[in-house]
């Protein structure tokens, strides 16, 4: 990876709009990768893919306070802007949009919000009421500011990806959502900004999550019960893993599939290890 010039870091909505307008005037297409910061290889997979599908790459780094339902979670989220910009320089990213909270919410949380609907209060949304509404609202704002031709979202946050794709379709937003496959450690653990909080023993135990998903994928052809039983077997006996849910959902509704379902699905898992909550998922075929 060769070091390249640093991206231009833009802090205001006005300058961001002007920068995008200049790219468009020069005939260049624009890709946006929205992030909360604390970038890692998983995010870099987004900007590498973005380089293949658009001319100009914008990465937004905005630690959106409205989507954190636990103040402690927001408090401990790593703030690493300089290191993030260094990483993006190494990838040749053109523009970084790093607004302040006041710039994004000049009069406080917006009076107008986007609703994620019923899916927004299941799985991740059950534990964090309002989280997905806040995510969709800030994503709608970012899409309105950057107006990208394409926006990248990770398969890692399957429920977020689902509600974002639905919002873009439902609201006729003129962008294409590009799904970026999950990047994993060699032992299968999905990369996440939260992994840094795991102790050594929790890190070892965290492997169980992807092992459960792999077990479900392998057993999927024998039906839903077999897939769920295989996952349960992989998760059993790991005391450090406090399982929140393991479910197999329909890709078109994000609702658990029926017992006799056959077809494409997504196995999703969430668990807490110590004070760290991890989520993961894997697309699979049932039957
Ligand atoms: O997935 C994230 O990093 C955030 O939810 C997002 C999409 C940047 C919105 O703040």
Helices (H), 77-189: 81-90, 101-104, 124-127, 131-146, 158-170
- If one compares 185 and 2, the residue with the highest pLDDT of the two is 185
- Record the tokens describing residue 252, joined without a space: 């078109």
Closest CA to 153 of 285, 34, 6, 29: 34
Atom of ligand 1 nearest to the CA of 154: 1
Residue 106 dihedral angles phi and psi, to the nearest 5°: -60, -25
How would residue 1 be classed by pLDDT, with cut points 50, 70 and 90?
very low
DSSP state of 64: -
In percent, the amount of the chain with pLDDT more than 70 equals 99
Please tell me whether 157 is known to bind a ligand: yes
Query: Which atom in ligand 1 lies closest to the alpha carbon of residue 67?
Result: 10
Write the pLDDT tens digit of every residue in 141-158: 999 999 999 999 999 999
pTM: 0.97
pLDDT at 3 over 60: no
162-190: per-residue pLDDT in tens? 999 999 999 999 999 999 999 999 999 99
Distance in Å, CA 60 to ligand 1 centroid: 9
Predicted confidence (pLDDT) per residue in 263-273, tens digit? 999 999 999 99
Ligand 1 atom 5 nearest Cα:
135
pLDDT tens sequence across 24-59: 999 999 999 999 999 999 999 999 999 999 999 999
The closest of 152, 135, 157, 125 to 52, measured between CA atoms, is: 152
CB of 139 shorter than 6 A to ligand 1: yes
**Ligand-binding site membership of 115 (annotated):** no
Separation of CA 230 from chain center: 26
Known binding residue 4? Answer is no
Which amino acid residue places its CA nearest to atom 1 of ligand 1? 35
Rounding to the nearest 10 degrees, give the CA dihedral for residues 146, 149, 151, 152. Answer: -140
Measured in whole angstroms, the distance separating CA 85 from the mean position of its chain's CA atoms is: 19
Confidence of residue 5 (pLDDT cuts 50, 70, 90): confident
φ, ψ dihedrals at 205, nearest 5°: -65, -30
- Most ligand 1 atoms within 8 A of CB, residue of 35, 104, 145, 193 to mutate: 35
Mean pLDDT of the chain: 97
For residue 153, the cross-strand partners are 179
> Is 160 annotated as ligand-binding?
yes
Which residues neighbour 111 within 8 Å (Cβ) at sequence distance 6 or greater?
none
Determine the distance separating the centroid of ligand 1 and the alpha carbon of 90, expressed in angstroms.
22
Ligand 1 in contact with 210 (CB < 6 A)? no
Ligand 1 atom closest to 139 (CA)? 9
Look up tokens 């001319």; give the residue: 55
Nearest CA to ligand 1 atom 9: 135
Cβ–Cβ < 8 Å for 228, 252: no
What CA–CA distance (Å, rounded) separates 26 from 105?
31
Q: What SS3 class is residue 281?
A: strand
Report which ligand 1 atom has the smallest distance to the Cα of 164.
7
């Amino acid at each position: 990876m060769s070091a390249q010039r640093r991206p231009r870091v833009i802090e205001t909505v006005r300058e961001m709009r002007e920068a995008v307008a200049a790219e468009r005037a020069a005939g260049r297409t624009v890709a946006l990768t929205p992030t909360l910061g604390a970038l890692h290889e998983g995010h870099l997979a987004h900007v590498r893919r973005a380089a293949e599908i658009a001319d100009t790459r914008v990465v937004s780094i905005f630690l959106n306070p409205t989507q954190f339902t636990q103040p402690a979670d927001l408090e401990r989220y790593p703030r690493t802007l300089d290191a993030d910009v260094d990483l993006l320089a190494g990838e040749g990213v053109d523009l970084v949009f790093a607004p302040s909270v006041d710039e994004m919410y000049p009069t406080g949380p917006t009076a107008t919000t986007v609703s994620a609907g019923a899916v927004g209060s299941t799985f991740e949304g059950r534990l964090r009421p309002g989280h997905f509404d806040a995510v969709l609202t800030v994503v709608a704002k970012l899409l309105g500011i950057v107006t990208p031709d394409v926006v990248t979202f990770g398969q890692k946050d399957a429920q977020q990806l689902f509600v974002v794709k639905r919002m873009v379709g439902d609201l006729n937003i003129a962008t294409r959502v590009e799904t970026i496959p999950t990047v994993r450690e060699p032992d299968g653990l999905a990369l996440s900004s939260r992994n840094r909080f795991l102790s050594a023993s929790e890190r070892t135990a965290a492997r169980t999550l992807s092992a459960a998903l792999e077990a479900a994928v392998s057993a999927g052809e024998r039906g839903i019960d077999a897939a769920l039983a295989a996952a349960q077997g992989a998760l059993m006996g790991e005391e450090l893993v406090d399982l929140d849910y393991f479910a197999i959902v329909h890709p078109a509704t994000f609702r658990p599939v029926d017992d006799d379902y056959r077809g494409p699905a997504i196995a999703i898992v969430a668990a807490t290890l110590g004070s760290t909550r991890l989520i993961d998922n894997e697309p699979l075929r049932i039957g």
